[in-house]
Amino acid sequence: MSAERIDGKAYALGLRGRIATLAADFTARTGRKAGLAVVLVGEDAASQVYVRSKGKATVEAGMASFEHRLPADAGEAELLALIGALNADPAVDGILVQLPLPAHLDEQTVISTISPDKDVDGFHVTNAGRLAVGQPGFVPCTPLGCVMLLKDRLGSLSGMDAVVIGRSNIVGKPMAQLLLAESCTVTIAHSRTRDLADVVRRADIVVAAVGRPEMVKGDWIKPGATVIDVGINRVDAAEPGKTRLVGDVDFGEACAVAGAITPVPGGVGPMTIAVLLRNALVAAFRNAGMALPAEAI
C-alpha cells in the first residue's frame, strides 16, 4: 500500500485562480480593488521573504497590496498608531502584522488592536470566540487550508474520528474547532498526552502540528487514515553542510500505512498564502456590504 499524495500546491493554485476571478468582479462592482495591508517590523530575513511573497501573490490576484515597514526599534505606540490608521482606511480590507515581532513589542496587544473585521490572520480574540461559537469570522489560514484539503479528498467529514497533535492558538486549537464544525469526533493531543501513539492510532484523520521532526511514526497511523502534516522542520541532510525540509510525520513510514498524506514541502504550505488571499477577499466583500458566493472559495 502506498498513500495518495495530497497535492496542496495544485489545490492552492486553483483556489488562487478562483480568488482572482472574484477579485475582478469586486473591482468591477465597486470601482476599487480589495486591499491587503502587511506590516513588517524589523529586518528578520524569513519574515522579509514571507512579506515579499504575500505582496506578490496579492497583486497577482488582482488586489491592492499595501506594505508598511518599521525599524526593529520602533516603539509600540508607533506600531499601534499605524494599525489604527489602517483600521480607519476604507481602501484597506485586511490587515496582517508579520510575526514574530521584536521582543520589546507585545504580540497580543498588537493583535488586539487590529479591527476583528480586518483581522485576516484570524488571531484576534474576537475571531477566536466567533469560531468557538460558530459565528462568521476569520479563521487562521493554515487550519482552514487543512480543512479544505481534507474535504477535497474525503468529501463529508461527518462522524470521523480526528486527532489534532498540537494545541497552539495558530493551528491546533482552531483546527480542532473547524473539525468539530464538520461533525468530527475530535481529540486534541499534545506533549502531556499519555500513550500518544495509541491515541493517534484510533484516528481516521491525523493533523500533526507540533514542530518536532518526523515525530509521528508509521505504526502510529491507522491503516487508510488521512494524514495532514503541518510541520516544516529543517534538518541535516545526508550531504555534509546541506539541510532538507521534513514534516512532523515520518513520511516514508506513514506512506506505507496511510490512505492519503500531505508531503513536506508541497502539501499544507502553499495553502497558507492562498487562504490569506481568500480571507482578504471575504473581508472586502463584507466591508462593502456585498454577498460573496460561499461555494466559490
Q: What residues are labeled active site?
A: 54, 98, 121
Sign, CA dihedral 275-276-277-279, equals: positive
In 88-110, which positions are buried (b, 16+ CB within 10 angstroms) versus exposed (e)? eeeebbbbbbbeebeeebeeeeb
Contact 40, 11 (CB under 8 A): no
**Residue 211 near residue 199, CB atoms below 8 Å:** no
Strand bridging mode 64-70 / 260-261: unpaired
Distances (CA, A) of 70 to 48, 114, 245: 12, 17, 31
Nearest to 236 by CA among 244, 224, 226: 244
How is the beta sheet containing 64-70 ordered, strand by strand?
64-70, 35-41, 94-97
Is 217:258 a contact under the CB 8 Å cutoff?
A: no
Helical residues (DSSP H) of the chain, grouped into ranges: 8-30, 45-60, 76-88, 107-113, 125-133, 141-154, 172-181, 196-201, 251-255, 269-287
